[in-house]
Structure 1
Amino acid sequence: MTFLAEFDATADSPPAEVGVVIRWLRSDWSGMYAELRANRPILPTSAFTMITRATDVLAILAQPSLYSVRANRRSMDPSVGPFMLARDETHINWQEKGLMQALLRWEDLPRARALAGEVSRAAIARASEAGVATPSLDIVPAIARAVPLAIVQRFFGFDAPAEAMLRWSFATQHGMFRNAPFDGDVLARCHEAGAEMRAWLDPFLAGKRAAGSSGGDDTVSRLIEISSLPATGLSADRVLSNVCGLLVGAIETSSQAIVQIVDQFLAHDDWRAAALAADAEGDVAGFDAHVFEALRFNPITTIQFRHLEQDRVLGEGTSYATAAKAGTVLAVCTGSAMFDPALMPDPERFDATRLANSYLHFGMGHHECLGGHVARVSIPEAVRQILRLPGLARAAGGAGLIDFAGGPFPEHLTVTWSREDPAADAAPAARSRTAEPTA
């Protein structure tokens, strides 16, 4: 049965209707989106209205006043305080986003990449010490989460205990961005994690502030130093919220990207060979392009939600124009847009020469990911260290598949490699990009 046939059959049961959407997101999002782009580009449901064509997706993301992120305040504010990322085009966003962008310096990116490589190689070395002919490694805890954790601790300068940071990151990212269908317990855990995080950070930041200008070469130290200047108008509470944001946005998103990219390369030998050829030639930009093209086939999320601020005709001027009332929740399907020929010519073909700004992995425009430039170097570097392993293959059985353990983020994916014959490369069974949930 097609998606629309199944969806239309639930017209008298709103919960079942939304359930169909969620199930297809988790089983065959690409098939659902292809059908919607062709036959019903704007699909109202009882919970949200889905937007699937690239022209409409880009138009919505480019107009943050009309299509806002105000709904994020319910999850963000009790966790980290009134936060700029839930307040597009306000004075808080204008001041604090610009300040944080200045402190997250582009000239520091080689250091972030080096750190990602260091952490990844150390994890691989530890696994290799077992002395077996075929070492193995669960890349999720060892690399995918360890790399962004190190970025937050050592590059951003938010150096709380690792176990606590991972718990805070999981709960806040789940509650703020992956709580669909809505679960009150998930939101409560998000708020609890935020309170814990702020309770730890408050004396940590106060201590750094009392120590005066330390000249620390990390984002938090720079933020403390510049906030001491009255001209910034940045209170201690605002510093606290922005430091919390460094953790919330970094760990689980980067981890999921690393895991799903590696999974795609394990499923496509030719993609992996092309990426490694670029690496062998010293073409770092070329290698990175292969990484983000692979992520397009299973992105960390295929939807961004927006709140409609005024009555509006969506897709106005088209044959599928749809009236929508203020307050409507829009499911802006970025994953669908990245398979729309209007944005990505010949979208089913793997093409590492696509323009980098065509991808929507980090959002776009006013609400583009604040630390996206850091992720653009740390994610591919972690992937590169894994792909370089001789004879890289999936572990046998279920261990070699992504395991979400019933949650919103990858928890396990075990790979093996060979000590004996670097040219030996087990041929992994190809797997569809629809095997794991993305929403």
Structure 2
Amino acid sequence: MIVINFIVAVWVRILMVLDGLLALPRLLWMILTTKGPKGKGFGGKVGAALGNPKGQRLIFTFLRAFIPNLSLKAQLVKAYQNTGTVIVGRMADVQEVIARNEDFEVVYEPKMRKITGGANFFLGMQDTALYVRDTSNMRLAMRRDDVATLVQPPAAKQAAAIVAGLPGRIDVPQDLTLQVPTSMVQDYFGIDVGSRQNLIDGATRMFWYLFIDLAGDPAVEAEALRYAAICREAIAGSIDARKGHLKDDVISRCLALQTSGTPGMDDVGIRDNMIGLLIGAIPTLSKASILALDQILDRPDVLAQAQAAARSGDEAAVGQILFEGLRFNPLNPVIYRRSALDTVIAANTLRACRIRKGQMVMAGNFSGMFDPTALESPNSFRAGRPWQDYILWGVGMHVCFGDYINRAVIPAMLTPLLARQNLRRAKGADGQINSGGTPFPQHWVLEYD
């Protein structure tokens, strides 16, 4: 058995090197054949190719084989202070970076404080007493068993009604994948800002500012903080409205904790926690759903499997197919942390990498999910992989707080649509994902019989 395992390990690494060698000419061909923005020349074609998940996979394929941990003096991230950049590509090393919370810190705190107007939110905290307090409180208010009673059934019912009410043509984000999470925020979280569009736009702009704007764009910050002020006031109003009129929602449960004297559950603490939950709910659920469905539509055999599962009402099977699709174009291709000290990752291996204090470490979860040393046949589309093969919403201490909600709501939203006959992209520009100048899909039209 030892000999067989050794031979398999060597063979996997040989194939990884061969794939890495082929990746560069494939990437060059992709760049040459990509239609870039007008007037941008070759640089525009390069940018377009690198913005495509297939192009990103080719880069990661090369790096995994030859430079699995790449340390640069260049400061690729401008929004946070740092001394350079490290790009990490192997699954084991990605997981190491994310697991070493004290050594590789989250950096969001300054922006979190601007969003709340004062305090940090637990996604921007290290492993402190405040982090434990706030996450524990919110786990009591946002219970895991709510998914089966208060989250998935309303999402499935609303999605089915939306699809049934449309005459064979749907703008997926506007009609479906933004609407269902917004209803969840209103009904389950208990947040009311008076306007569904303000909820959608506010969550989108704040998420963009906190997690995606690595360039430090002042215009992105200004819009995010404008919506933050609106949402703070509206959530405070929602809290006041619940007092004396408790319901079975997250804000009411927070108020029940407040009544019992639970630390951290004063009105401002509840408000700050709720604004954090709002930010993570609407745009991410919508985008993840669309990216996954887009991958499935590219694969007719997979689409047929997904539709068969949807028509039989098997949401679990639909989910397995969707999450495998999302592996091919995840919501975030890297998870970034900043090194708190001079250290080493992948110690005692040939790929060991020294990291300087202050360097921004880009842990390539997209790359890790295609690492042949960690996954079986990573380039094949295989629904039903072990969940540990996926890093779709982070792992460990800072995994998405609603990861179990994501796993239920995404298939609940898309099952009624997948059950339709002859599901297809609309012709022309309407059938292509349009982000409307944001990092999130705003329009994408599909048709069905």
What TM-score do the two structures reach when normalised by structure 1? Answer: 0.85
SS of aligned partner of 1:2: helix
- Superposed displacement of residue 108, structure 1: 1.7
Q: 1:169–1:248: 8 Å Cα contact kept in structure 2?
A: yes
Inter-partner Cα distance in structure 2 for 1:379 and 1:67: 31
| Distance in 2 separating the partners of 1:167 and 1:281 | 35
Farther off after superposition, 184-193 or 326-335: 184-193
1:211-230 equivalences in 2 (<5 Å)? 211=244, 214-230=245-261
1:102 alignment partner, one of 134, 140, 147: 140
Q: Is the Cα–Cα contact under 8 Å of residues 303 and 335 in structure 1 kept in the other structure?
A: yes
Provide, for residues 189-226 of structure 1, a one-character-per-residue CA deviation record: whole Å limited to 9, x for no partner: 222221221122223312323x2xx4411111111111
Residue in 2 that maps onto 1:78 = 114
1:240-389 mapped onto 2 (5 Å cutoff)? 240-389=271-420
Take 1:391 and 1:5, find their aligned partners in 2: how far apart are those partners?
33
Shift of 1:50: 0.9
Give 1:424's aligned residue: none
Is contact 1:75-1:191 (8 Å) kept?
Answer: no
- Larger mean CA deviation between 282-291 and 382-391 belongs to 282-291
Deviation at 1:374, TM superposition (A): 1.0
**Quick one: distance in 1 between partners of 2:265 and 2:229?**
21
| Structure 1 moving runs of 4+ over 6 Å | 3-6, 18-22
Q: Distance in 2 between matches of 1:205 and 1:4?
A: 55
Structure 1 residue 22 displacement after superposition:
6.6
Q: For 1:308 and 1:91, how far apart are their aligned partners in 2?
A: 21
- CA gap of 1:388–1:279, structure 2 versus 1, over 3 A, is closer
Q: How many residues align?
A: 397
Q: In the alignment, is the contact (CA less than 8 A) between 2:288 and 2:326 conserved in 1?
A: yes
Match in the other structure for 2:207 = 173
Q: Are the aligned partners of 2:191 and 2:238 in contact in 1 as well (CA < 8 Å)?
A: no
2:225 to 191, 199, 224: 191
Tell me how far apart the structure 1 counterparts of residues 211 and 25 of structure 2 sit (CA, whole Å). 25
Contact 1:56 1:315 in 2 (8 A): yes
Match of 2:51 in 1: 26
Structure-2 residue corresponding to 1:153: 186
Q: Is the 8 A contact 1:3 1:32 kept in 2?
A: no
For residues 3 and 312 of structure 1, the distance between their equivalents in structure 2, rounded to whole angstroms, comes to 35
Native 8 Å contact 2:337 2:362 kept in 1: yes
CA distance in 2, matches of 1:23, 1:3: 17
Classify 1:19/1:61 alpha carbon distance in 2 versus 1 (closer, same or farther; 3 Å).
farther
**Residues 231 and 414 of structure 1: CA distance in aligned 2, closer, same or farther (over 3 Å):** closer
Asked if 1:63 is matched to 2:103, the reply is: no
Tell me what 2:172 maps to.
139
Determine whether 1:121 maps to 2:148.
Answer: no
Q: CA deviation at 1:23?
A: 5.7
Provide closer, same or farther for how the CA distance between residues 231 and 105 of structure 1 changes in structure 2, counting only shifts above 3 A. closer
1:430 counterpart residue number = none
Query: Match for 1:352: what amino acid?
Result: A
> Cα–Cα, structure 1 residues 282 and 300, in superposed 2: closer, same or farther, change >3 Å?
same
Matched, 1:38 2:65: yes
Change (3 A) 1:117 1:396: same
- Which stretch of structure 1 is more off in the superposition, 73-82 or 270-279? 270-279
Aligned residue identity for 1:32: I
DSSP 3-state at the match of 1:173? helix
Q: Is the 8 A contact 1:404 1:410 kept in 2?
A: yes
- The root-mean-square deviation of aligned C-alpha atoms, in Å, is 2.3
Deviation per CA, 1:36-64, whole angstroms, max 9, x where unpaired? 11111112331221111101000111111
Structure 1: 5+ residue stretches without partners: 7-17, 129-134, 419-439
Partner of 1:391: 422
**Match of 1:250, SS?**
helix
Amino acid at match of 1:190: A
Task: State the shift of 1:175 in Å.
Answer: 0.1
Q: Which moved more, 1:165-174 or 1:36-45?
A: 36-45
- Structure 1 residues 216 and 349, CA, compared in 2 at 3 Å: closer, same or farther? same
SS of 1:409's equivalent?
A: coil
Give deviations 1:390-433, integer Å, cap 9, x for gaps: 11111001111111223211111101111xxxxxxxxxxxxxxx
Q: Which residue of 1 aligns with 2:131?
A: 93
**1:201 partner letter:** I
Change (3 A) 1:228 1:19: farther
Q: Which residue of 2 aligns with 1:53?
A: 90
Identity of paired residues, percent? 27
Shift of 1:20: 11
Counterpart of 1:362 in structure 2: which amino acid?
A: W
The amino acid of 2:155's aligned partner reads: A
Distance 1:19 1:198 in 2: 40
Other structure's SS at 1:216 match? coil
SS in structure 1 opposite 2:87?
strand
Q: 1:409 aligns with which of 440, 444, 447?
A: 440
Distance 1:4 1:392 in 2: 31
Amino acid at match of 1:316: A
What is the CA–CA distance in structure 2 between the aligned matches of 1:283 and 1:119, rounded to whole Å? 17
Contact kept? 2:315, 2:415, Cα under 8 Å: no
